[in-house]
Amino acid sequence: MQAPLKERYREDPAQALITLRANAELDGLGISCKVETGRAVVEAGLHPATGGDGSLACSGDMLLEALVACSGVTLRAVATSLGLEIRGGTVRAEGDLDFRGTLGVDKSAPVGFQAIRLSFDLDTDASEEQLATLRKLTERYCVVYQTLRTPPEIEVRLA
């Protein structure tokens, strides 16, 4: 199933470069945000760029969804703490992957995200100074953001 993809990535490495995205909506309802997953129970599988048929959730998408969910909730909590009104907005995350690394096509190609971009588009009257504080504190207290910025030691067990 993956052989044709591996060959294509060897011949044209640019085809292995994929950008994944996730979004969350901030509405006026308390400290929360809505993450679009499209599934109540998520079944994960291969991304189409690695041989999947696209019917199952990609773990890379799920990672970005976790980032937008956590940062959206954190932003809401920080804004509440600072007394800032956030009437609404959008949180977006994009991440760049080179699937040659995951498929072992090119040993020098990295496995995992090479870059992640997180952005907030907010409906608020907060000043630039208040927004700078909101950003700084959101970054500081978002668990998923901090986990990605400073990866924890991970132990893997196989039984």
**Angle at 64 (CA atoms; ends 59, 68), nearest 5 degrees:** 145
In the chain, the DSSP E strands lie at: 17-26, 34-35, 88-98, 113-123
Q: Report the b/e string of 22-47 with b at 16+ CB within 10 A.
A: bbbebeeeeeebebeeeeeeeeeebb
Q: Are 23 and 36 in contact (CB under 8 A)?
A: yes
pTM of the predicted structure, to 2 decimals: 0.83
Enter the DSSP assignment of 143: H
SS3 category, 17: strand
Which amino acid is present at 150?
T
Per-residue pLDDT of the chain (159 residues; tens, 9 = 90+): 778 989 999 999 999 998 878 777 777 666 556 666 766 556 777 888 988 888 777 889 989 999 999 999 999 999 999 999 999 999 999 999 999 999 999 999 999 999 999 999 999 999 999 999 999 999 999 999 999 999 999 999 988
Phi-psi region of 98 (alpha: psi -120 to 50; beta: other; left: phi over 0): beta
- How far apart, in whole angstroms, are the C-alpha atoms of residue 29 and residue 87? 9
- How far apart, in whole angstroms, are the C-alpha atoms of residue 102 and residue 117? 21
CATH class of 3-149: alpha beta
Dig out the tokens for 138 from the structure: 């959101």
Q: Are 87 and 25 in contact (CB under 8 A)?
A: no
Dig out the tokens for 139 from the structure: 């970054």
